[in-house]
Structure 1
Amino acid sequence: MGTRAGTSALTIGIDVGGTSIRASVVDADGQVLDSAQAPTPQSAGPLDEALDRTVRELVDRHRIGAVGLAVAGFVNRDRSRLRFAPHLPWADVPVASELSDRIGLPVILEHDANAAAWAEHRFGAASGGGNVVTVAIGTGIGAALMIDGALYRGSHGVAPELGHLQVVPDGRACACGKRGCWERYCSGTALVQTAIEMLAANPDESTVLASEVARDPGSLTGRRVAGAAQDGDKLALRTMADFAQWLGVGLAMVGDVFDPDLVVIAGGVASSAGLYLDDAREHYTRLSTGARHRPRARIRRTQLGEAAAMIGAAELARVALD
């Protein structure tokens, strides 16, 4: 099935999301050589079985040295257990060692934003950066902090949880139990809610996006809002402008707390960065404390796209083989 090897070994990186399991075979240069994908089951037993099948599909085609598992959730500091994952059925489970026992390969566990940050550090937009914050914007916001090229995990392994910084007191309800979290205004989910709220405030507005929402409100997605904005839809453009403002608000807070030299915008929403990133930079500059008297962080979009977490998990697994 594959054996332990050195740093030149091929490794597998797996991004376990709420809707799909995506896995890639990655070489020592961060290049994706092969991929497999499966739906994410909603109970623990079937999820374990789906992971096993996905890994074995790739192991049957390649000589694999180790596996990296990237998950959106609370990973303890030594990465031995997944404490909690809001979109997965695992809770306080040693998922890495259990998977390793089943497939006969070394497995490491990592938070998906940390994995993406490591990939960008090794092969992408953060190459050469010193103190780097990665903000992964998708369904919510994941974040990672690198200090002098090393991942910072905090005392208990869950730092930095930037998506749940409160930006609006008593604002939109969040699944975390708080209200007004940053990700409720700056995420793919937030794009949908903002578009619906804007339409409710202007019910007679006539745009293509408004017509689609009127026909089927449940069909709206963040990608659709971004696509409509790309096509010049007025409602979608206003929604993206609101998103850019909230991104700038959050980045100014991040800059004041961490003073990074670089911020990398990753995640699914990063693919639409051309619609909002310049405006977000302006809001960030305007809102940063003492902006005229200090250097500001460079803000870049991901170079590795939605494969970043898989590439990073695979590379961390390779490092663990040494």
Structure 2
Amino acid sequence: MSGTPYTRSTSRRTPRTFARRDGAPRPSLLRLPTVGIDIGGTKIAAGVVDGEGRILEQLRTETPHRSKSPKVVEDTITELVLQLADRHDVHAVGIGAAGFVDADRSRVLFAPHLSWRNEPLREALSSRLKLPVVVENDANAAAWAEWRFGAGAGEDHLVMVNLGTGIGGAIVRDGWLERGRYGMAGEFGHMTVVPGGHRCPCGNRGCWEQYSSGNALVREARELAAAESPVAAPLLERVGGDVMAITGPLVTEAAQQGDAVAVELLQEIGHWLGLGIANLAAALDPGRFVIGGGVSAAGELLIGPAREAYRRNLTGRGFRPEADIVLARLGNEAGLVGAADLARQVARRFRTVKRSRVERRA
């Protein structure tokens, strides 16, 4: 944590390598190990990630109850980072948080699962850890990871759609995350697709995530079961007749085992997914859509219907190129890996500036 002073190497063969004063080689700035933190409503995951996106070590703990003060969550994050720093030479920390993050990537303006309201998280953590810290929206972090190391590699106009409890999203264009003027771009889940439709927790009606998300899948399955529909009988048998025990993973598992109504429910979610993607294509015209989040575990049962609905609703269909629609590859670790890699960019800039100042003084 305290670090050892470095002097610049004179080797021309390794222009991005620096040597310690004790003679040991220093890794390229591109390969600096950094810590990524993924903050969820129920867990906080922390991991050391190398320059190739590999997780060297990972720790997990429960998220402090949402009624606790922001400092309690900061204490938890600090403890995880310090544990990892005892065993790894980490150089920066990236935080992926569900919620609105300002354009400077320093404050969490609003986090639905935590008591953060305009919270100066970067300043609070960097002063305690004595390391560069970057704060990023969790969907942005996941999209960055997929673009750097996963299903989005090689595509410079990428849109990611995360289907979890709701819908998160992010845009990567020409090697940059598109955050918008105020840092809130990518909130695709709250596009209105059905005026006057289902009420959304955001306060509006008919939001996209009310029709294509984990919550939507569970709501539709439970409504069928509660209505004692004969087609829902196999689902009820799986949960011993307890309607509230029906979950998204259970519906997905049933569909993968051939349950007809579960397959139909996923097809409906996929239809709405494809419709929303067609709208995004009209507005953003990306080359690839990457679909992640827990619901994407359904694979082709979800993506197949989505592709069909996308093609049926795409503006100018038949007369324009169609974006690829692919499944994410990095799974639940995408947010952690992306946050760590974004922190690495900050660490590189921090060390470059620091080195320049040292050289000017010399």
Residue type matched to 1:302 in 2? Answer: A
Find the counterpart in structure 2 of residue 20 from structure 1.
43
Give the deviation of 1:90 after TM superposition. Answer: 0.8
Superposed structure 1 runs of 4+ greater than 6 Å apart: none
Does 1:37 find its partner at 2:37? no
Find the counterpart in structure 1 of residue 310 from structure 2.
284
Does 1:246 find its partner at 2:258? no
Give the deviation of 1:200 after TM superposition. Answer: 4.2
Structure 1 contact 77–153 (Cα < 8 Å) conserved: yes
Q: 1:86 aligns with which of 106, 112, 128?
A: 112
Find the counterpart in structure 1 of residue 254 from structure 2.
228
Structure 1 contact 3–105 (Cα < 8 Å) conserved: no
Find the counterpart in structure 2 of residue 219 from structure 1.
245
Q: C-alpha separation between the residues in 2 aligned to 1:306 and 1:198?
A: 30
Q: C-alpha separation between the residues in 2 aligned to 1:204 and 1:8?
A: 57
Q: 1:260 aligns with which of 282, 286, 291?
A: 286
Give the deviation of 1:271 after TM superposition. Answer: 2.1
Give the deviation of 1:206 after TM superposition. Answer: 5.2
Does 1:110 find its partner at 2:133? no
Q: 1:313 aligns with which of 336, 339, 354?
A: 339
What is the DSSP-based 3-state SS (H/G/I as helix, E as strand, rest coil) of the residue aligned with 1:57? helix
Give the deviation of 1:161 after TM superposition. Answer: 1.2
Q: Deviations over 1:93-151 (max 9, x none)?
A: 11122112222221110111111111111111111112111111111111111222211
- TM-score, structure 2 as length reference: 0.85
Q: C-alpha separation between the residues in 1 aligned to 2:239 and 2:211?
A: 19
Does 1:65 find its partner at 2:91? yes
Q: C-alpha separation between the residues in 2 aligned to 1:237 and 1:2?
A: 55
Q: C-alpha separation between the residues in 1 aligned to 2:124 and 2:225?
A: 48
Find the counterpart in structure 2 of residue 124 from structure 1.
150
Q: Kindly tell me: are residues 88 and 206 of structure 1, through their superposed partners in 2, closer, same or farther at Cα, counting changes over 3 Å?
A: closer
- Relative contact order: is structure 1 or structure 2 higher (C-alpha 8 Å, sep ≥ 6)? 1
Give the deviation of 1:208 after TM superposition. Answer: 2.6
Residue type matched to 1:285 in 2? Answer: R
Give the deviation of 1:297 after TM superposition. Answer: 0.6
Question: Any gaps of 5 or more consecutive residues in structure 2?
Answer: 5-26, 349-362
Give the deviation of 1:11 after TM superposition. Answer: 0.5
State the identity as a percent: 45
Q: 1:9 aligns with which of 29, 32, 42?
A: 32
Residue type matched to 2:183 in 1? Answer: G
Residue type matched to 1:232 in 2? Answer: G
Q: 1:185 aligns with which of 211, 233, 236?
A: 211
Residue type matched to 1:127 in 2? Answer: A
Give the deviation of 1:202 after TM superposition. Answer: 5.3
Structure 2 contact 225–232 (Cα < 8 Å) conserved: no
Report the count of equivalent residues: 322
Question: Any gaps of 5 or more consecutive residues in structure 1?
Answer: none
Q: C-alpha separation between the residues in 2 aligned to 1:66 and 1:152?
A: 22
Q: C-alpha separation between the residues in 1 aligned to 2:230 and 2:294?
A: 31
Structure 1 contact 207–233 (Cα < 8 Å) conserved: no
Q: C-alpha separation between the residues in 2 aligned to 1:197 and 1:206?
A: 9
Give the deviation of 1:291 after TM superposition. Answer: 0.7
Q: Single out whichever of 1-10 and 69-78 deviates more from structure 2.
A: 1-10
Structure 1 contact 2–65 (Cα < 8 Å) conserved: no
Q: Deviations over 1:52-76 (max 9, x none)?
A: 2222221122111111000111111
Structure 2 contact 225–243 (Cα < 8 Å) conserved: no
Residue type matched to 1:266 in 2? Answer: G
Structure 2 contact 221–246 (Cα < 8 Å) conserved: no
Give the deviation of 1:214 after TM superposition. Answer: 6.7
Structure 2 contact 292–331 (Cα < 8 Å) conserved: yes
Give the deviation of 1:7 after TM superposition. Answer: 3.0
What is the DSSP-based 3-state SS (H/G/I as helix, E as strand, rest coil) of the residue aligned with 2:231? coil
Q: Compute the RMSD of aligned alpha carbons.
A: 1.7
